[in-house]
Structure 1
Amino acid sequence: MEMSMFLEYAWVLLVLIGLEGILAADNAVVMAVMVKHLPEKLQKKALFYGLLGAFIFRFAALFLITFLVNVWQIQAIGAAYLIFLAAHHLVKNRKANPVKVKKVKNGKSNSFWMTVLKVEIADIAFAIDSMLAAVALAVTLKPTGWFHVGGIDGGQFIVMLLGGLIGVVIMRFAATSFVKLLSKYPTLETAAFLIVGWVGVKLTIFTLAHPNVQVLNEHFPESAGWKMTFWIVLIGIAVGGYLISKKKEKAVFQESN
C-alpha cells in the first residue's frame, strides 16, 4: 500500500473511531438506563449480554449491510422503541409517587431476562446505525484490491470492522461509567431517559431521510445545522439533569441534618 493511501485509510479509521465512540455513548446510555433497576451483580451480567449482543449484531450488520441499507423499517422500529421508553418513563413518573424499585433477586427471573431482551432490541437498531455510518465513510476510500467480502473491498471492510470493534470496546467502559453515575445520582434517571428519547428522535431523522422514504432530504442528517442542534439539546439535557440532581442531593442532605 502506498504511503498516501495508508495515510488516507488511517485518517478515515481515526474519524470512524470518533464517530463510533459517539454512537457507542448513545448505546451505552440506553443500556445503563435499562439495567439500572437490577442489583449490581445482575447489572454487570445484563451489561455483558448487552455488549455481547452489540458485538454480534454489529458483526452481522457488517456482512448484511448491502441488504440492511434498504431496510429503513428496522431503523424506524428502533426509533419508535427508544421514544416509547422515554415517554413511558415520564408518564409513569407523573402518575405515581416515587417508589423504591423492586430489586431482582434471582438471576433467572423473568424481569432479568426481559431486561436483557430490551437491551438486545436496542442493540439491533444501534448496530445498523453504526454500520451504516461505517459504510458511508469507508466507501469514500480508494479500493485496495486485496480481496472482497461480498461487494465490499477488503481494505474498506477491514476499516469498517475495526471501527465497529473499537466502538464496542468504548461502549464497554462508557456503559459501566453511566451505570455508576446513575447509581450515585438517582435523580439523573429522568435526564437519562430524555436523552434516550432524543436519541430516538435522531434515529427518526435518519429514517425520514432514508432514500426510500424521502420525507426529509437524504443529506439532512449530515448537515451542520442538525448536528449542532442535536448536540446542543443533548448536552443541555445532560448538564440540566446534573445540576438539578446536585441541587436535590444538597436539599436532601440539609433536611437530614
Structure 2
Amino acid sequence: MLTSQDLISGLPVIASLVIIEGLLSVDNVFGIAALAKELPQHQQRKAIRLGMAGAYVFRVLALLAAAWFIANTWVRWLGAVYLVWLMCSHLTRHDTRAASGPSKRVAPTLLGALLQIGLMDLSLSIDNVIAAVGLAPKDVQTQLPVMWPIYAGVLFAIIALQAIAPHALRLLRKYPVLEPAAFILIGLVGGILVCEESYHAMTGGVLHIPSLAKFAGIVSIVALALLYSGSAVVRRLSNPLIGLALPLMKGFTALINWVFLPLTHLCAVCKRGR
C-alpha cells in the first residue's frame, strides 16, 4: 500500500522522470513526423496516428518487460545502435544520391515508413524504461526498484506524446530544418545509451548523465538548427564540420547495413511496396 512517506520519497524521482520522459517524447514525436513527412500528403496523418499508437503500445510493453531489458544488455545495445544508424542514414542519404549521380528516386511507402517508425518507437521505449528504472528508488528489503514512480513516469510520457503530436508535422512544414534536427536528437539519445552501456561494460559502474545536461543538449541542437537555417554566417562556419562528419556517418551506415543485411533488404522491399 502506498503511504505518504512513499509518496514524498518518490516525488523527486517523478520530477526527474517528467523531464526525461518529456524530452524523449519530443524526440519520438518529431522522429515520427520526420519519417511520415516523406510520404504522400494523404498518407502522412495516417502514418503519424499509427506511429503514435505504436509508441504507446511499445512503452507499455517495455514497461512490462523492464526486468528482461535490464538483464539483457544486448537488447539495449541493439536499440542504441539502431537510433544512431537512423540518424546517420537519414542525414547522409541526400549526399549519397548526389554523389552517385541522377537516379530514379524510389518513393517511400506507408509500410516502409511504418517499419522504420516501429523500430524507432521500440528503441526509444527501451531507453525510456531503462532511464525510469535507473532513477527509481530501491525497496529497502528487496533492493528491487519501486515500480509506482516508473508507472507514473511512463503515464506522463504517453500524455506528453499525445499533447505534442498534433503540432509536430505543422512545425516541420513551417521550419524544414527541424527535420534533420529531429534525427540528430534521435542520434543523441542513441549516443547517450551507447556511452552508458560502454561505461558499464568497461568499469561495471553506472554512468549517470543528468537530466539537465540532456535538456541542454536538446535545446542546443534545436537552437543551432534554427540558427543554421536563418544565418549565412552560421552555415559558413558549420559547413566544414558537417563535411568532416558526413564521411564518418556514411561509413557507420554502410557498416551497419552490411552487418544487418537481411533487415536492410526487408526495409528496401517495404519501400518498393512489394
TM range (shorter): 0.7 to 0.9
Letter in 2 for 1:89: H
Give the letter for the 2:124 counterpart. F
Distance 1:206 1:237, change over 3 A: same
Counterpart Cα distance in 2 of 1:158 and 1:191:
34
Q: CA deviation at 1:216?
A: 5.6
Report the residue type matching 1:219 in the other structure. V
Change (3 A) 1:34 1:8: same
Q: How does 1:148-163 map to 2 (within 5 A)?
A: 156-163=146-153
Q: What amino acid maps onto 1:127 in structure 2?
A: S
2:204, 2:209 → 1: CA distance?
10
Map Cα deviations across residues 186-224 of structure 1 (whole Å, 9 max, x no partner). Answer: 2332333323322221221233234xxx1366322x145
Aligned equivalent of 1:126:
124
For the residues of structure 2 that align with 1:86 and 1:223, how far apart are their CA atoms?
Answer: 21
Give 4+ residue runs of structure 1 displaced > 6 Å after superposition. Answer: none
Would the alpha carbon gap of residues 247 and 168 (structure 1) be closer, same or farther in structure 2, given more than 3 Å must change?
same
Distance in 2, Cα, partners of 1:223 & 1:137: 11
For residue 52 of structure 2, give the secondary structure of its aligned residue in structure 1.
helix
TM superposition score normalised by structure 1:
0.74
Q: CA deviation at 1:64?
A: 1.8
CA displacement at 1:141 relative to structure 2: 5.8
Amino acid at match of 1:135: V
CA distance in 2, matches of 1:245, 1:103: 27
Give 1:14's aligned residue. 15
> In the alignment, what sits opposite 2:80?
79
**Partners of 2:13 and 2:21 in 1: how far apart?**
12
1:118 to partner: Cα distance = 0.9
Matched, 1:242 2:217: no
Show CA shifts across 1:112-141 (max 9, x none).
011111111111111111112222233436
Contact 1:74 1:125 in 2 (8 A): no
RMSD over aligned Cα, in angstroms? 3.2
Structure 2: gaps spanning 5 or more residues: 233-274
Distance change in 2, residues 1:196/1:135 (3 Å)? closer
Percent identity, aligned pairs only? 26
Which residue is 2:71 aligned to?
Answer: 70
Structure 2 letter corresponding to 1:121? L
Give the partner amino acid of 2:151: L
Q: Is the 8 Å Cα contact of residues 8 and 141 (structure 1) preserved in structure 2?
A: no
Q: What secondary structure, in the 3-state scheme, does the structure 1 residue paired with 2:19 have?
A: helix
Measure, in 1, the Cα distance between the counterparts of 2:106 and 2:227: 27
Aligned equivalents of 2:178 and 2:63: distance in 1? 34
SS at match of 1:201: helix
Alignment of 1:184 with 2:171, yes or no, is no
User: Deviation per CA, 1:212-244, whole angstroms, max 9, x where unpaired?
Assistant: xx1366322x145x963x554443321121122
Report the number of matched residues: 226
Contact 1:36–1:43 under 8 Å retained in 2: yes
Q: 1:217 to 1:240 in 2, by over 3 A?
A: farther
CA contact (8 A) 1:59 1:161 kept: no
Alignment-derived partner of residue 38 in structure 1: 39
Letter in 1 for 2:170: K
| Distance change >3 Å, CA 50–CA 217, structure 1 → 2 | same
Question: TM-score normalized by structure 2?
Answer: 0.69
Correspondence 1:201 to 2:188: no
**Structure 1 alignment gaps of length 5 or more:** 105-109, 146-150, 249-257
CA contact under 8 A between 1:61 and 1:128: conserved in structure 2?
yes
Question: 1:79 touches 1:203 (CA, 8 Å); kept in 2?
Answer: yes
1:168 aligns with 2:158: yes
Aligned to 1:57: 58
